[in-house]
Structure 1
Amino acid sequence: MSPADFVPHLSEAASAADPAGLLPARQQMALSLGWHIVLACFGVAFPAMIFVMHLRGIRRRDPVALELAKRWAKVSAVLFAVGVVSGTVLSFEMGLLWPGLMGTFGDVLGLPFAFEGLAFFLEAIFLGIYLYGWGRMPQRLHLLMVLPMAVTGVIGTYCVIAVNAWMNAPTGFRILDGEVVDVRPWSVLFNGHAALQFAHMWVAAYMVVGFSIAGVYAVGMLRGRRDTHHRLGFTVPFVFATVAAVAQPFAGHILGAGLDERQPAKLAAFELAETTESPAPLRIGGVYTDGEVTGSLDIPYLGSLLARNSPSAPVPGLDTIPAEDHPPVNLTHWAFQTMIGIGILLMLAVLLYWFARWRGRDLLERRWFLRFAAIGGPLAVVALEAGWIATEVGRQPWVVHGVMRTVDAAGNHAAGLWWMLAASTIGYGAMTVGAVVVLRSMARRWRTGESDLPSPYGPRSALAADGNGEAER
């Protein structure tokens, strides 16, 4: 049960006209979150892949694996540095763009945001230790420095996801005479849906990073670099991506259980259900206009089975929900189906690869598979973005579901926000170009044989001093 079940909505006094700051605030958050979430995935999943690669290098005395671990750590540092900027911007945007939300629920959301900031600083510390520890620390102690990076990345992401889960199913407070009282921060941090929503995001992060890193080495193999370096660089992240791609449909299905009770409007938009049907079909494609669905491919019974775990259970229709509480139906539906479609495609691709390998066929020798692997990363990113669009747009018109509408969270001043959006667009574009230029420069130097790129402001390592890697072994 949520506060919306037993307290007045904070949105009851909302005016008919949208505040001037609503549109620029939405555009700014869409840009910032859509850009930052990809970098956040690398903070969650990349350390685990670095750990596995480094561990392999130590156990098997494999110089290729050690070199890959070192290179990946430097790539991670570049992405972390860029993510620092976008994450800092987001922390300011919450207050600047949504004064109604933070002014009302600041005490409710303070604890998870505080823990997220602490986790971020700890991650930065251990990333620095790991980067500068090559050749300066005992090899096993050095390897263990990756673990705090992985743990803090997970904790920070969980805290942010917990806030989003709370916005979808608010708890941990009461509203008395229009004021938020009886705040229970721990209930917010560990609300009933945080773990499931985090699991879905956590698996998605491994898909994004696994397919992206594997795709880099697939491109190298397409260009004729079929050495051990590229094969190992492909295989380790692809194994992570495989597990994530197979697990993700189950994680998503479990997360969606009970959505008909928590957010029936979102479920109706997902399923493009204009009326309540029992049994409900699965609608693929289609457009909702003037209260009717056109152009969809309907598969009988499957909608009820997937949404309600029963071939005959009813799926609530949009006709049962007040029009003012409808989300943008078509955008929500298409984003949801894009996420599902790409997820199924990637799952089938990894199953095909391992089935072929079990039958003694190496698909890495097939250019068509390498081409698909090269676009696996972008496809996973599109699925990630589509999933967040479905989640966030499907919650509208609520910023805190059932309690506060988005129009009540925005401010009334727009001029400065439009300038901020323009500056952010330019800034994010410049950071994207800068990151690509730096990473391409690093890759080019590595290909020419520069195995130990200099680290700024750091003392010269023993590894660089002896030039043969004996300090690490």
Structure 2
Amino acid sequence: MEDLFAARSQMALSLGFHIIFACIGMVMPFFMATSHYKYLKTGNPLYKDLTKAWSKGVAIFFVTGAVSGTMLSFELGLLWPEFMLHAGPIFGMPFSLEGTAFFIEAIALGFFLYGWDRFKPWFHWFTGVVVGVSGLASGILVVAANGWMNSPSGFEYVEGKFLNIDPVAALFNEAWFTQALHMTLAAFTATGFAVAGIHAYMILKGKYIDFHRKAFTIAILFGAVAALLQPISGDISAKDIAVRQPAKLAAMEAHFETSKAAPLIIGGIPDEEAKEVNYAIEIPGALSFLAHGDFEAEVIGLDQFPEEHHPPVAVVHYAFQIMVGLGMILVGLSLLYFFSTWKKKNWQAQSWFLWLFVLATPLGFIALEAGWTVTEVGRQPWIIYEIMLTKDAVTPIPGIKYSFFIFTAIYVSLAGIVSFLLYRQIKAVPATLAQKTMANVES
């Protein structure tokens, strides 16, 4: 295994694990705060039980996200020292602000977890809101740093040197808004459907249905609204990428030749040697319209770039197809949920309806991983787009493959531990409710 491939694989593995923990940690506090709000407004103790149950999950993912995020920060310096030498002073501010948001989140989470019956009710609720807001801010700031890699700004590049650095301009680069919007909606969609799917399964088991139905409703409302907004965000992102990173868009669509009235390709198997796509469904002019708002517009193909600067077309294309395909399935489920709420409320108690959401539990996170693959692999071979090649940024220290194997073992262990803790937590909820039920009966 070559050192460059090992370094890239280690970063891919680390990001792939961290993004799941981070997204759940960003979104779950809002579920928790919503349930807490419902408890304060209605006095229904089931909402209090739900808030406490979710808060324990938030704590698990917060700790896990902190550990995996810390490992990532070390990896940036250890694996990509040339990149950090130049990029660190430029986008150091977003990372420092992210650290501030993280500390605020940690303090607020401590207040929330240990504030029951110690703080005034509405101040206690507010600390939960701060957990969510600071976690969301933390995620957006990290995405802004990634956006800078896709759209470098805030400096002048003269004879291989980075001069006249402006950290604010680097923070608010041209990619930060579209990436942050798309990522935030993806996090809410993935987490909403995952949590809803878990509670739908518990409803099917037939125990404490009222508790799990309340949880399902809160989670799916967040997830479904985000899923319906995601295509709008995707359209904004596509139009932005068409201008800033045309090679990435060309790889996403396996668009090998520059053409007007370019077709949108659905599915297909790219042949990078023959520069064609086999077995694809083509919609005439649709790619031109999606990229530029005009069915006759010219869309730049990979033929406009040197072959050594082409992204891996097959990987990017397949990842993009998976992301869009799964996203459309979740949009369909969202419409089904809102239609059932409006016209067919009885559907929500039927097993076929609940099984659809159970089966959809992992789909949002698969789409999320596919989307990050498009973002990161689609930028290759650049680590800083059109300024620094990835191969020029990797550490010269040999033996990176051993580091990759060690980190793989760490992340697999971490995933196993988190899965065990979550399983134990989910299993403990019915026991807690049963104890309360017995206490109420005896009283």
**Bin of the TM-score, shorter chain as denominator length:** over 0.9
Task: Quote the Cα distance in structure 2 between the aligned partners of 1:362 and 1:354.
Answer: 13
| Match 2:267 to one of 278, 282, 285 | 285
Distance 1:451 1:145, change over 3 A: farther
Deviates more, 1:175-184 or 1:344-353: 175-184
The answer to whether the 8 A contact 1:20-1:412 is kept is no
| Cα distance per residue 1:10-67 (max 9 Å; x no partner) | xxxxxxxxx9531111010010000000111122211111111100001011111111
- In structure 2, runs of 5+ residues without a counterpart are none
Matched, 1:141 2:123: yes
| Match 1:62 to one of 44, 47, 64 | 44
| Match 2:304 to one of 316, 320, 324 | 320
The answer to whether the 8 A contact 1:21-1:97 is kept is no
| Cα distance per residue 1:407-455 (max 9 Å; x no partner) | 111122231x2222112111111111111212222222221236899xx
**Structure 2 residue aligned with 1:432:** 415
Task: Give the letter aligned to residue 111 of structure 1.
Answer: M
| Match 2:293 to one of 294, 309, 331 | 309
Q: Once the 2 structures are TM-superposed, how far is the Cα of residue 315 of structure 1 from its aligned partner?
A: 1.5
Distance 1:136 1:402, change over 3 A: same
| Match 1:411 to one of 389, 395, 413 | 395
| Cα distance per residue 1:328-358 (max 9 Å; x no partner) | 0011111111111111110011101211231
Task: Quote the Cα distance in structure 2 between the aligned partners of 1:143 and 1:308.
Answer: 45
The answer to whether the 8 A contact 2:94-2:142 is kept is yes
Task: Give the letter aligned to residue 444 of structure 1.
Answer: K
**Structure 1 residue aligned with 2:334:** 350
| Match 2:368 to one of 378, 384, 388 | 384
Task: Quote the Cα distance in structure 2 between the aligned partners of 1:314 and 1:367.
Answer: 49
**Structure 1 residue aligned with 2:155:** 173
The answer to whether the 8 A contact 1:214-1:238 is kept is yes
Matched, 1:40 2:40: no
Helix, strand or coil at the partner of 1:395: coil
**Structure 1 residue aligned with 2:431:** 448
**Structure 2 residue aligned with 1:360:** 344
**Structure 2 residue aligned with 1:462:** none
Task: Quote the Cα distance in structure 2 between the aligned partners of 1:278 and 1:312.
Answer: 6
Distance 1:446 1:420, change over 3 A: same
| Match 1:87 to one of 58, 69, 89 | 69
- In structure 1, runs of 5+ residues without a counterpart are 1-18, 454-466, 469-473
| Match 1:101 to one of 68, 78, 83 | 83
Task: Quote the Cα distance in structure 2 between the aligned partners of 1:54 and 1:318.
Answer: 52
Task: Give the letter aligned to residue 411 of structure 1.
Answer: T
The answer to whether the 8 A contact 2:2-2:401 is kept is no
The answer to whether the 8 A contact 2:154-2:169 is kept is yes
Task: Give the letter aligned to residue 176 of structure 2.
Answer: A
The answer to whether the 8 A contact 2:35-2:48 is kept is yes
Percent sequence identity over aligned pairs:
40
**Structure 2 residue aligned with 1:459:** none
Task: Give the letter aligned to residue 42 of structure 1.
Answer: I
Task: Quote the Cα distance in structure 2 between the aligned partners of 1:284 and 1:171.
Answer: 34
| Match 1:401 to one of 364, 381, 385 | 385
Q: Once the 2 structures are TM-superposed, how far is the Cα of residue 147 of structure 1 from its aligned partner?
A: 2.0
Which structure has the higher relative contact order (CA within 8 Å, separation 6+)? 1
Task: Quote the Cα distance in structure 2 between the aligned partners of 1:48 and 1:448.
Answer: 25
Which structure's residues are more often helix, by fraction?
2
Q: Normalising by structure 1, what TM-score?
A: 0.89
**Structure 2 residue aligned with 1:225:** 207
Distance 1:303 1:143, change over 3 A: same
**Structure 1 residue aligned with 2:98:** 116
The answer to whether the 8 A contact 2:22-2:61 is kept is no
**Structure 1 residue aligned with 2:251:** 269
Task: Quote the Cα distance in structure 2 between the aligned partners of 1:237 and 1:203.
Answer: 14
Task: Quote the Cα distance in structure 2 between the aligned partners of 1:37 and 1:362.
Answer: 36
The answer to whether the 8 A contact 2:18-2:69 is kept is yes
Aligned residues: 436
Distance 1:451 1:421, change over 3 A: farther
Helix, strand or coil at the partner of 2:362: helix
Deviates more, 1:85-94 or 1:189-198: 189-198
Task: Quote the Cα distance in structure 2 between the aligned partners of 1:432 and 1:363.
Answer: 35
The answer to whether the 8 A contact 1:67-1:451 is kept is no
Task: Quote the Cα distance in structure 1 between the aligned partners of 2:252 and 2:363.
Answer: 20
Taking the TM superposition and a 5 Å limit, the aligned residue runs for 1:176-255 are 176-225=158-207, 227-255=209-237
**Structure 2 residue aligned with 1:3:** none
The answer to whether the 8 A contact 1:24-1:414 is kept is no
Helix, strand or coil at the partner of 2:378: helix
Deviates more, 1:402-411 or 1:294-303: 294-303
Task: Give the letter aligned to residue 358 of structure 1.
Answer: W
Task: Quote the Cα distance in structure 2 between the aligned partners of 1:90 and 1:212.
Answer: 25
Q: Once the 2 structures are TM-superposed, how far is the Cα of residue 109 of structure 1 from its aligned partner?
A: 1.8
Task: Quote the Cα distance in structure 2 between the aligned partners of 1:418 and 1:302.
Answer: 43
Matched, 1:51 2:60: no
The answer to whether the 8 A contact 2:241-2:249 is kept is yes
Helix, strand or coil at the partner of 2:260: coil
Deviates more, 1:293-302 or 1:336-345: 293-302
